[in-house]
Amino acid sequence: MHFLRKLTSWPFLRQVVLYGIFGASAAGVDFLLFLGLRQLGLSLLIANLISVNTGIAISFVCNAFLNFRRTDALLRRAAVFFCVGWLGLALSSLILTLGVSHWGMPEVWVKAASIVVVAAFQFTLNKLVTFRVAWGGGGVTAPGELASPADSGATLSIDGQAELADSTAQSATPGESADSGAARP
């Protein structure tokens, strides 16, 4: 029941919708760039390689900064995002090969089905792996998620309890002692 409640919560639906919008936009750029590169005379596979990777890059930037709001460890997250994108490409190719070549299904229907399967696969991996919270500090915490104790200046004790750092020493103004509040000579 908890899973179902979380699945239908607003932050989750927001992420799914934005992921779809950004993915569709990136796919549009991929498609148009592919057509343009082919018109310029690039080979089929080189044009596809450039356009697909451009689409993945656009999707990563939009999802990192606007959707999941995870900007820490950006290069590591980008590397994982690209790997997920390439896994999606491989999965799509497998589905197309099986559906069209082995089962004799119409390629338009197989392609449509592969888009749904691959989008769900990639969203799940990106949400759970690429944009998980615990990838270093300095990033923005997504709405509705708690920041780590390190983000709040707290430390974890041996028994796992969060302890706030002594803020009086940090808040003393120049010339004041944090202990007495008196000005230094």
pLDDT in tens, 53-105: 999 999 999 999 999 998 899 999 999 999 999 998 899 889 888 998 899 99
Three-point CA angle 173, 162, 170, nearest 5°: 5
3-state secondary structure of 101: helix
Over range 129-147, report the average pLDDT. 59
Higher local confidence (pLDDT), 63 or 177:
63
pLDDT at 156: 37
Is the pLDDT assigned to residue 154 strictly greater than 80? no
What is the chain's mean pLDDT, rounded?
A: 76
Proportion of the chain above pLDDT 90, given as a percent: 34
CA angle, 51 then 55 then 58, to 5°: 140
| pLDDT in the model for residue 3 | 59
Q: What is the CA radius of gyration of the chain?
A: 24
127 within 8 A of 113, measured Cβ to Cβ: no
Number of C-beta neighbours around residue 168 at 10 A? 11
Give CA–CA dist 9/15, Å, rounded. Answer: 10
Alpha-carbon separation of residue 27 from 54, 88, 103, 115, 119 (angstroms): 9, 13, 27, 11, 12
| Biggest alpha carbon–alpha carbon distance for the chain | 89
Q: Is the pLDDT of residue 174 over 60?
A: no
The type of residue at 16 is V
Residue 111 has a pLDDT of: 84
If pLDDT is split at 50, 70 and 90, which confidence band does 176 have?
A: very low
**Confidence class for position 8, pLDDT limits 50, 70, 90:** low
pLDDT greater than 50 at residue 24: yes
Q: 144: pLDDT confidence band, cut at 50, 70 and 90?
A: very low
Give dist(CA 70, CA 137) in Å, integer.
10
Residue 169 in this model has a pLDDT that exceeds 50: no
Question: For residue 72, which phi and psi values (nearest 5 degrees)?
Answer: -80, 160
When pLDDT is averaged across residues 39-66 and rounded to a whole number, the result is: 91
